[in-house]
Amino acid sequence: MHVVKAASCMEIELCSISVVGKEGLEPSRNCFHSALNAACLPISPLARIFQKNPQRFYAQISQLARNFFTHHTFAMKMMKILLYTDTPQIGGAELQTFLLAKFLDKAKFEPILCCSNFPQLDSWCQKFKKENIQVIRINVKHKHDPRHFILLKKIIKLYKIDILHLQIWNPASCRYAFFAGKSLKVPIVITEHDPFKLSTLKNILKKFTLKYVAKIIAISQNNRKILEEIYPKQKSKIKMIHNGLDITWWQSQLLRLTKEDIQRIKTQIFQANLNTLILITIAELHERKGHKFLIEAVSQLAEEFPNIKLVIVGEGRERRSLERLSEKLKLTANIIFLGRQKNIPQLLSSSNIFVLPSSQREAFGLVNLEAMICSLPVVATNVGGIPEIVKNDETGFLVEPQNADSLKKALEKLIKNENLRKSMGEKGKKRVTQEFDAKKMAKAYGEIYTWEPRKNDEMQGDKELAT
């Protein structure tokens, strides 16, 4: 009986993809040979089967290979992905970075977080550590500190990083990281979380750095359009991947919520009666979020529906101005300012309608997804990436920005119709679970990381620079 030598790990890996990956996929003879080698199977009996009945040979060798690879694990080189940001604070971009690291396929990728050593990032970094994701903190004073460049180069070399993924929380952020990655010829992927046109000098620098980026990820089709308009030469590199939610986590939070919890939140936190209809909005108290128009809309609604209450969650420089406006309109009994809150799933589930009255750009509007998974109908302005989340007349209503009357009419429909609220809420929840799961987002990024023709992009960058 003749036994052949073991195949290499690379041959085994290729064979496992060909034979085990998809049912019915006809394997190549080389793949059979690798499987035989790896399994140390005798050749002579199989050779006789092949001569007499090739179809039976293919069937038997496929089954042998499947059995072998089912019970054996091979060491595979995982791609090391360095998720880098120079952000000084935690926001939506940072949440998505965490979810990406959490849900990346750990059999293929090893995500590593690299960020500044600012105390305000400690709680965020701790979440990565709880998921056994390595965190590297660099000692810098601010995002303009040139040590970003020096330290990042050392990290890329030391950890043998395969891909540098930059989280662009502001269009001018991570500038040193571009040059660090380029100097070491490491493929760079960037996610533009909130793109807008920069000043002339900064825009020139940004255009220069983008020449050496392999892929540019927009988090919405609207963002993609903005990027293509600002950087038309990079159009072929721009791909869209929607942000996502940790569906399992949200569902677990909602399952724990009892009827008594909801009653307590309504009476003690919202300071409302149990039969009060709750409108809730969650956003930074900034002029571009349009709270002023929502308060004006509630002023009109309160005349006909005195049993409504607007809950405003969030903090910001506009808080005092908005409080004065509600006092001026005699709405202190109909509006409550809660400031920043952590128990968002519980607050949303204790409400009836969610409102996001953004008056200017809204890169994505993740909070709409959070409201929808809690089965709330949504009234939001038709700006930025919001129309990609909220389906008008299906999961809620889209209204004109900076228009209190438009907000009032949409809210009035929902206030009057409980069945409509329930129907839109159910459709919204179904849409989120099907279309905006963070696992789906991470899988899409994994496909970007394994995209091969990066050298073509680098050559194109050199060509553009020469011209």
C-alpha closest to that of 301 among 405, 397, 371:
405
Q: What is the pLDDT of residue 292?
A: 97
Return the CATH number of the domain spanning residue range 79-244+441-466: 3.40.50.2000
Residue 361 is predicted with a pLDDT of 78
Please tell me the chain's helix, strand, coil percentages from 3-state DSSP, rounded to the nearest 5: 50, 15, 35
**188-192/163-168 β-pairing:** parallel
134: which DSSP letter?
E
- Predicted pLDDT at 45: 61
Burial group, residue 382, by CB count within 10 angstroms (0-12, 13-18, 19+): middle
Identify the bridge partners of residue 245 per DSSP, sorted by sequence position: 437
Fold identical between 79-244+441-466 and 247-436? yes
Q: Are the CB atoms for 133 and 113 separated by under 8 Å?
A: yes
Residues 416-449: b if buried by 16+ CB within 10 A, e if exposed: eeeeebeebbebbbebbeeebbbbebbebbbebb
Domain boundaries, the chain: 9-70, 79-244+441-466, 247-436
Residue 16's pLDDT is 29
- Can you give the pLDDT at residue 451? 80
State which residues of the chain have pLDDT below 50. Answer: 1-36, 38-43, 73-75, 453-467
Task: Report whether 118 contacts 148 (CB < 8 A).
Answer: no
Q: Are 219 and 241 in contact (CB under 8 A)?
A: yes
CATH topology of domain 247-436: Rossmann fold (3.40.50)
pLDDT at position 360: 78
Residue 62: burial class (beta carbons within 10 Å; 0-12, 13-18, 19+)? buried
Judge residue 264's burial from the number of C-beta atoms within 10 Å of its C-beta, 0-12 exposed, 13-18 middle, 19 or more buried.
middle
Q: Check residue 21 and give its pLDDT.
A: 30
Determine the pLDDT at residue 223.
96
- State the pLDDT at residue 32: 45
Q: Quick one: tokens of 378? A: 């949504």
- pTM beyond 0.85, yes or no: no
Contact indicator for 353, 280 with CB cutoff of 8 Å: yes
pLDDT on residue 22: 31
